[in-house]
Chain A
Amino acid sequence: MMTALQSHTPVLDEPRVTRGEAAVSIRGLTRSFGGPNILDDLDLELEAGSFTALLGRSGSGKSTLLRTLAGLDTAPAGTVSVPDRRAVVFQEPRLLPWKKVWRNVSLGLRRGDARARASAALSELGLSHRLDAWPLTLSGGEAQRVALARALVREPKLMLLDEPFAALDALTRLRMQALVGKLWQMHDLTVLLVTHDVDEALLLADRAVVLIDGRIGADVAIPLDRPRHHGDPEFIRLRQQLLGTLGIDENGLDGGG
């Protein structure tokens, strides 16, 4: 059972992945930090090109799962198969304050045209004017967009987002959500978005999985047309369903127990 992180062999310039193929495959993943299992024999497959929201109560192990997929957790039991080209965006931008914005974005790029590629990625996120800025002079939203550019510039197959909007103000969050939705549609990306915000999941994802007691306790398809609206009856129904799986009623009160 102790198989280490396995990776697909990287195939550069491969044609657009046809949907239906698994980009991520997790079998029997178990993880504990000395106490009870945080992840307990968890199975999950993510279709290539899909946008999945990972919901769960605080402390349910969402970040632990995402860190495993990112290759940051070194001792997971189980089998995890992920694409080689992965990128992560965390709740905090985690930029290097001593490197200018474009150098943050191009960090780790092995090819020579690093600045041009960083510049292109930053332009896509509306930051072409901030190329030579120091990170500590950016606003929270700008810094998070730089973090997105840094992830995007690597042309990842799998984008892992760990509550990337949680620290932003409400207006900036709306703009960033729209931006991520757009990026997913324009790039050949599999996205796993960790969030505790059911509405965010319903706005962006085409599938929501809920982490309960260390496993995927609910798996809900979100077959809504885009752009999506909060007032849509189907949206409202799905919200109630997801809130129910989280054990919370629509007034935010704990349901059962």
Chain B
Amino acid sequence: MASATLTVERSVARAPSRAVSKAFDGAHRFLVPVLILVVWQALDSFGWINARLMPSPIRVAEAFWQLLVTGQLLGNLWISLVRVAVGLGIGVFLGIAFGLFAGLSRFGENTVDSTLQMVRTLPHLALIPLFILWFGIGETPKIALIALGSVFPVYLNLFAGIRAVDRKVIEAATTLDLTRAEIIWNVILPGALPSFLVGLRYAVGIAWLTLVVAEQVNANSGIGYLVMNARDFLETDVIFVGLIIYAILGLTTDQMVRAIERRALAWRPTFTDAQQPNRRAA
């Protein structure tokens, strides 16, 4: 009896403290970044670090504001976004097309798989010089490079996803008198979707990485151009703005794919963020 009372008291006492500790956890996560900003600002204000090489957070914020009001930021941001969207669109489209072709038929696999596996081993960024010679310095080489980088993760993961669909489930669907098209649509494609989405997240990451490199090697517009231009004039604050923009863009698009995952894979009762893929370099 005494021990029962004790248990009740403890659980009552624990309830509010749990809420408090959760709020504390939330604040805790921001503690270190905020501290870094404060120390960084202080170092700059006291003149302990070279403000030319390492602008203070306030300077960076000012530069951000300047770029925003002069319209340079949004203009170049838009150009970069379009490059990624078009390149990624083409890459994902081709990745899906090849993935379906090779995944759904032995004929397709024999036709494209070995070729794609060979091309895949080539680091696509190494093609920049060639692409510049072939396509000049306009939009084409950048978009082509982004497309090339993003096609493989989509292809590989979709192909593997299709082939990994449980044969037993396909067999069960066959006994329900489904046509081949119905089995592909109801069984194989949904079964391959989780793997495809993993590939899509890789592709998005690679697309941004490719954009950064492509715009810094040759461009007269875009965020990468803004950054390289700033380097020529020693505007480190603008370089920082560019870095922050990249970080925000990468994070936003990754969250978008994860939102798609949460919706499309709602059938997984234990779908959690712990199942993120490990990031892989291009």
Given contacts A134-B269, A136-B269, contact A94 B176 (CB under 8 A): no
Quick check: A96 and B174 within 8 Å, CB to CB?
no
Interface residue A33 (Cβ < 8 Å from any Cβ of B):
no
Q: Assuming the A-B contacts A96-B186, A96-B187, A97-B267, are A108 and B168 also in contact, with contact meaning beta carbons closer than 8 angstroms in the complex?
A: no
Contact B190 A96 (CB under 8 A): yes
Say whether A88 faces chain B, with CB atoms less than 8 Å apart: yes
B172 touches A108 (CB 8 A): no
> Complex: how many Å from CA A99 to CA B191?
11
**B39 at interface by CB-CB < 8 Å:** no
Contact-size category for B: 20 to 34
Q: Is the CB of A134 within 8 A of B173?
A: no
Q: Is the interface of B mostly helix, strand, loop or mixed?
A: helix
* Residue in contact with B173 in the complex, picked from A86, A92, A97, A107, CB distance below 8 Å: A107
If over half of A's interface residues share one DSSP class (helix, strand or loop), that class is named, otherwise mixed; here it is loop
Residue of B166, B176, B191, B266 touching A107 (CB-CB under 8 A): B176
CB proximity of B190 to chain A, nearest CB, Å: 4
Separation in Å of the B47 CB from the closest CB of chain A?
Answer: 61
Tell whether, in the assembled complex, residue A134 and residue B174 are in contact, meaning their CB atoms are under 8 Å apart: no
With both beta carbons as reference points, the residue of chain B lying nearest to A70 in the complex is identified as: B175
| A136 contacts across to B, CB distance below 8 A | 267-269
Give residues of chain A (110-162) contacting chain B, Cβ–Cβ below 8 Å. 134-137, 150, 154
**Residues of chain A with a CB closer than 8 A to B168's CB:** 90, 92, 94
A88 to B173, CA, bound (A): 10
Does A98 contact B190, Cβ atoms closer than 8 Å?
Answer: yes
Instruction: Name the A residues within 8 Å of B266 (CB-CB).
Output: 134
Are B269 and A90 within 8 A (Cβ)? no
A98 to B265 alpha-carbon distance, docked (Å): 8
A171 within 8 A of B: no
Q: Interface 1/0s, chain B 137-159, versus A by CB < 8 A?
A: 00000000000000000000000
A95 nearest CB across to chain B (Å): 8
A71-B175, A87-B175 known; 5 new pairs, CB 8 Å cut-off, are A96-B169, A97-B268, A107-B176, A108-B178, A134-B266
Q: A residues bordering B, Cβ < 8 Å?
A: 70-72, 86-88, 90, 92, 94-99, 107-108, 134-137, 150, 154
Q: List 21 A-B contacts (CB under 8 A).
A: A70-B175, A71-B174, A71-B175, A72-B174, A87-B175, A88-B172, A90-B172, A94-B169, A94-B172, A95-B169, A96-B169, A98-B265, A99-B190, A107-B176, A107-B178, A108-B173, A108-B182, A134-B266, A136-B268, A136-B269, A154-B176
